[in-house]
Amino acid sequence: MTINAPQQRPPLPPFHTVEDAAKKVRLAEDAWNSRDPARVALRYTPDSRWRNRAQFVTGREAIEVFLVRKWARELDYRLIKELWASPDNRIAVRFAYEWREDSGQWFRSYGNENWEFDADGLMQRRIASINDLPIAASDRRFHWPLGRRPDDHPGLTELDL
């Protein structure tokens, strides 16, 4: 389990520029695409509160456990996040990710997240609404090797998602 976290996670709020907010979103996307629960959990405060679909999670350790279960089920996970809005210490994000079950059925999950950060840039609240759409393997659009999305890969707007 995660023990120590860096004291700060720049860029720090308030997010006065679109560039700073977009950088924060991309850093989160990169961490999630690592599929490393400990790495992702370090982006959150020790007492961070989540609503993920209909599930409520509190605390960094519970987040890590949640992510271990998630990525054991959601195989070949690839995610794209896009900044939607960024006032002060909050960011709204839209996202899509593709994954498959062990049966081979592919899905594209669409959603929106609302994030709230503490002064050190750690996320203290995450509210996620997500819908899953079964897709054929031939309808997949996220084909980069597992891990960080390449900089030249289209984002959600360019993919018309």
Question: Cα–Cα distances in Å, from 97 out to 53, 54, 119, 132, 143?
Answer: 15, 18, 29, 9, 11
161: in domain:
no
- Domain of 65, in residue numbers: 18-139
pLDDT at 54: 93
Q: Is residue 13 part of a domain?
A: no
Q: What is the pLDDT of residue 16?
A: 86
What are the mean pLDDT values of the chain's consecutive 10-residue runs (161 residues total)?
A: 68 92 97 98 96 96 98 98 94 98 98 97 97 98 98 97 96
Q: What angle do CA 2, 92, 32 make, to 5 degrees?
A: 35
CATH of the domain at 131: 3.10.450.50
pLDDT at 7: 79
- For residue 87, the model assigns a pLDDT of 86
In a domain, 76, yes or no: yes
Q: What is the pLDDT of residue 4?
A: 60
Q: Is residue 7 part of a domain?
A: no
Domain count, the chain: 1
Q: Is residue 103 part of a domain?
A: yes
Question: Is 32 within the bounds of a domain?
Answer: yes
Phi-psi region of 76 (alpha: psi -120 to 50; beta: other; left: phi over 0): left
77 assigned to some structural domain? yes
CB 113 within 8 A of CB 93: yes
**Whether residue 11 has a cis bond before it, omega within 30° of 0:** yes
Q: Is residue 118 part of a domain?
A: yes
